[in-house]
Amino acid sequence: MKTCACLLLILFACKPTTRLGDMMGVPTESSLKDTHWVAVDLGGEPLSTNIKRPYLILKSQDSMVQGFGGCNMISGNYETSGKKLTFGQLISTKMFCEDAKDLEPHFLMLLGEVTGFSIREHELTLLAGDKILAHFRSEGVAKN
């Protein structure tokens, strides 16, 4: 009975911790740069799980952004300072995709409005002032 009481005391006294993750090198928050960010919602509208979602990778080495707009590959440059973020002129391939004909232009328009960002754990939020433009989920460190 003493053993059971001791175990209960230990269980209730323990608090959740990320120490194990810290010791193993698991980050508690994804980095803006060199992370594969997949769009979860654009303009407050959740994206269907039945489509190939847009994604972004902001390269730290050359301040270039690479990604996918829903149909075409995109690339260009970006600037960041603190929590500010802006995208320069983006270029893309020119394939036509019937199922992404509305998604991709909307995604590119939103990127043109970005003025800042926030990261909480493994979720990136793109902002235009205080307005939320899009949410992205980390898919881990981007492969070169």
Q: Count Cβ atoms below 10 Å from residue 87 Cβ, excluding itself.
A: 21
Integer Cα distance of 38 and 46 in angstroms: 12
pLDDT of residue 39: 97
Tens digit of pLDDT per residue, the chain (144 long)? 555 444 444 444 444 444 444 444 445 678 999 999 999 999 999 998 888 999 999 999 999 999 999 999 999 999 999 999 999 999 999 998 887 788 999 999 999 999 999 999 999 999 999 999 999 999 988 775
- Indicate the average pLDDT of the chain: 84
Integer Cα distance of 68 and 119 in angstroms: 20
Q: Which of 126, 101, 115 is nearest to 41 (CA)?
A: 126
What global pTM score does this model have?
0.77
* CATH architecture of the domain covering 29-141: Beta Barrel (2.40)
Q: Are 84 and 116 in contact (CB under 8 A)?
A: yes
Residue 89 is given by DSSP the state: E
Integer Cα distance of 141 and 87 in angstroms: 21
Integer Cα distance of 44 and 31 in angstroms: 23
